[in-house]
């Protein structure tokens, strides 16, 4: 795999992925919403307008699709519309453009999320489980379905259902750290909901693995093999920072502050990554303590 197209290349995952791919000999073309500089390896698109520079995609062998409106934030009607429009319309636009190439790329790795499943309690959730109910589960299912034009064209589509990604400078961890560093962190609600997590180091390795592993296709749970409860996660983060983690945030306070979005913090999914492991992937961070140390720059 040499020529790889990446959307969302400046985001939390994309910023780690692009150098990772370059170190492995890949030539990365970025999919951007602005006019590319003359010497830049980039292709312009505008999902809202439904336009994409298909000519700039010629010769692409693999695609990583990460772009889309962040689901974090109060889910007003306008926010929900932005999530659906950016993620569903953008994925469909890109999938149709790739399907029209001659030849089309061999593979498309499309970022998805564990929210597809909804709140599943203590159940070990494999890729065979159906979609949950509620806005974010239904939106994620639509997002995945929008990649169907690529699959219909014979492109191997991998739907990467990501757990909580732990890394420096972004994601859920960045939003938690200020409170935990002050010793004001703790569990959300009763803390019994499961947190499926993965280090940013392993996420980019999974994406490269998916690009180059022909047997891997369809939905894939992208999470480390050791999911923990929210209470256990809070204690582990407190230990990693040498701070107490004893101040819970009551469920009613989260619902008051976040509205409908609070379901993301009060519900949980215990992802089973057996499909990924069976494809030959080996985690660098298979336990939470090592992943947190890496994310906080405290390895060694």
Give the residue among 17, 65, 70 at the shortest CA–CA distance from 43: 65
pLDDT of res. 298: 74
The model's pTM: 0.95
Residue 299 pLDDT level (bands cut at 50, 70, 90):
low
Domain membership of residue 133 (yes or no) is yes
- Of residues 227, 219, 218, 212, the one with CA closest to residue 280: 212
> 249 in a domain, yes or no?
yes
Predicted confidence band at 1 (pLDDT cuts at 50, 70, 90)? low
What's the token pair of residue 254?
Answer: 């989260």
**Is residue 143 assigned to a domain?**
yes
130 found inside a domain: yes
pLDDT band, very low/low/confident/very high, at 229 (cuts 50, 70, 90):
very high
Written as six digits, the tokens of 219 are 């939905």
> SS in 3 state form for the chain?
CCEEEEECCCCHHHHHHHHHHHHCCCEEEEEECCCCCCCCCEEEEECCCCEECHHHHCCCCEEEECCCCCCCCCCCHHHHHHHHHHHHHHHHHHHHHHHCCCCCCCEEEEEEEHHHHCCCCCCEECCCCCCCCCHHHHHHHHHHHCCHHHHHCCCEEEEEEECEEECCCCHHHHHHHHHHHCCCCCCECCCCCEECEEEHHHHHHHHHHHHHCCCCCEEEEECCCCCEEHHHHHHHHHHHHCCCCCCCECHHHHHHHHHHHHHHHHCCCEECCHHHHHCCCCCCCCCHHHHHHHHCCCCC
With vertex at residue 102, the alpha carbon angle to CA 97 and CA 104, rounded to the nearest 5 degrees, is: 60
Q: Is 106 exposed, middle or buried (0-12, 13-18, 19+ CB in 10 A)?
A: middle
pLDDT tens track for 94-148? 999 999 999 999 999 999 999 999 999 999 999 999 999 999 999 999 999 999 9
Q: What is the mean pLDDT of residues 209-215?
A: 97
What's the domain count of the chain? 1
Domain hosting residue 208, numbered range: 3-295
Residue 300 in any domain: the answer is no
CATH code assigned at 191: 3.40.50.720
Q: Residue 76 and residue 63: Cα distance in Å, rounded?
A: 32
287, 299 Cβ separation under 8 angstroms: no
């Amino acid at each position: 795999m040499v020529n790889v197209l990446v959307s969302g290349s400046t985001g939390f995952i994309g910023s780690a992925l692009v150098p990772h791919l370059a170190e492995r000999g890949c030539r990365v073309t970025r999919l951007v919403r602005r006019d590319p500089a003359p010497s830049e390896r980039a292709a312009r698109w505008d999902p809202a307008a439904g336009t994409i520079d298909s000519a700039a995609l010629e010769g692409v062998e693999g695609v990583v699709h990460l772009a889309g409106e962040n689901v974090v934030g109060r889910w007003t009607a306008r926010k929900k519309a932005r999530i659906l429009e950016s993620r569903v319309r953008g994925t469909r636009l890109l999938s149709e453009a790739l399907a029209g190439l001659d030849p089309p790329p061999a593979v498309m790795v499309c970022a998805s999320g564990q929210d597809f499943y909804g709140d599943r309690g203590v159940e070990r959730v494999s890729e065979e489980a159906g979609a949950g109910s509620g806005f974010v589960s239904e939106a994620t299912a639509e997002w995945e379905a929008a990649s169907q034009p690529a699959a219909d064209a014979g492109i191997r589509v991998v739907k990467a259902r990501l757990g909580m990604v732990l890394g420096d400078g972004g994601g859920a961890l960045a939003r938690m750290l200020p409170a935990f560093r002050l010793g004001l962190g703790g569990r959300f609600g009763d803390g019994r909901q499961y947190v499926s997590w993965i280090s940013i180091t392993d996420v980019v390795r999974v994406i490269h693995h998916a690009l180059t592993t022909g047997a891997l296709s369809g939905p894939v749970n992208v999470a480390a093999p050791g999911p923990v409860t929210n209470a256990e996660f809070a204690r582990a983060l407190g230990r990693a920072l040498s701070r107490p983690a004893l101040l819970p945030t009551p469920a009613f306070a989260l619902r008051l502050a976040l509205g409908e979005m609070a379901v993301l913090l009060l519900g949980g999914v215990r992802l089973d990554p057996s499909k990924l492991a069976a494809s030959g992937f080996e985690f660098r961070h298979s336990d939470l303590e090592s992943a947190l140390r890496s994310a906080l720059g405290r390895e060694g």
